[in-house]
Every structure is written in C-alpha cells, then in structure tokens.
C-alpha cells in the first residue's frame, strides 16, 4: 500500500509541474497580448490549485502509511505554502468583477508556487524530475 501511495505521490508531481508551467505561459501570453480575461486561464489555474490539494491528500496518505523522515516537516510546510500560492489568484479573480480580472497575478503566483515545490523537493533531497 505504501508503494502505491509513493508511486502515486511521486508521479502526480508531473501533472503539477505541467499545469504550473502551462499556467505561467498562458498568463504571460494573456498579459503581453492584453487579451480579455478568459475561461482557459481560470481552468488552468483552478486545475493547478486542485492538483496541489489532491497531492497534499496523497502526501498525507503516504505519511500515514508509515513513510516518514524528519525532513518531511519542511517538505510539508513548503508544499502547503505552494498550494496556498496556487490558490490565492484563483480565489482573488473569482471575486473580482469581469473587467478587473487580470492575467499577470496568475503568472506571478504560479512561479512562486513552482519555486516552493522545487524547494520542497530539495528539502527531502529529491530532484525536480525523477527519484534521485
């Protein structure tokens, strides 16, 4: 069971990395071309935040299946901050009237989320891609 959660948690990072990079690129494209805010931006950023939340659940499942090391405390904290960074622009834009929604905050927060994910992996001595 631990292997199942480990492989799931390990592999799911690639979806997060993919959504993170796609969110940054799409947001930069929208900001540079000054397009009106659109649904794909909302879908990408919500997908990133949702995937991060699911990854946290998988992380807990892995933890409670008995996989533990002291460095997990830092991994856990940085990943919580990463998920928060991914969620903030989604929540903020949802509350804004249509004419005030903008792309750039999505790029900034997604870059921060990706940097925190990278830091959370370094904290447990793992590479961003692969198992090390």
**Cα end-to-end distance, the chain, whole Å:** 22
Beta strands in 17-103 (DSSP E): none
Q: Choose one: 41-49, 50-58, 87-95, 100-108; the region binding ligand HEM (CB under 6 A).
A: 50-58
Specify the DSSP class assigned to residue 98.
G
Residue keyed to tokens 């249509």: 98
Distance between CA atoms of residues 116 and 85, nearest Å: 9
Among the listed ranges 27-35, 42-50, 58-66, 102-110, the one in contact with ligand HEM (CB under 6 A) is 58-66
Residue 59 binding ligand HEM, by CB under 6 A: yes
Residues that bind ligand HEM (CB under 6 A): 9-10, 13, 16, 52, 55-56, 59-60, 62-63, 67, 69, 72, 75-76, 79, 82-83, 117, 121, 124, 126, 131
């Amino acid at each position: 069971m631990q292997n199942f959660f480990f492989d799931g948690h390990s592999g799911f990072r690639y979806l997060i990395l993919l959504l993170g990079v796609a969110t940054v690129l799409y947001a930069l494209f929208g900001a540079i071309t000054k397009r009106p805010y659109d649904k794909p931006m909302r879908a990408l950023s919500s997908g990133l935040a949702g995937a991060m939340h699911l990854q946290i659940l998988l992380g807990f499942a892995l933890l409670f299946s008995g996989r533990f090391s002291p460095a997990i405390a830092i991994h856990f904290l940085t990943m919580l901050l990463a998920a928060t960074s991914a969620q903030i622009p989604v929540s903020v834009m949802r509350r804004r009237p249509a004419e005030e929604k903008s792309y750039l905050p999505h790029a900034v927060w997604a870059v921060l989320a990706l940097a925190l994910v990278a830091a959370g992996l370094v904290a447990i001595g793992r590479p961003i891609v692969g198992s090390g």
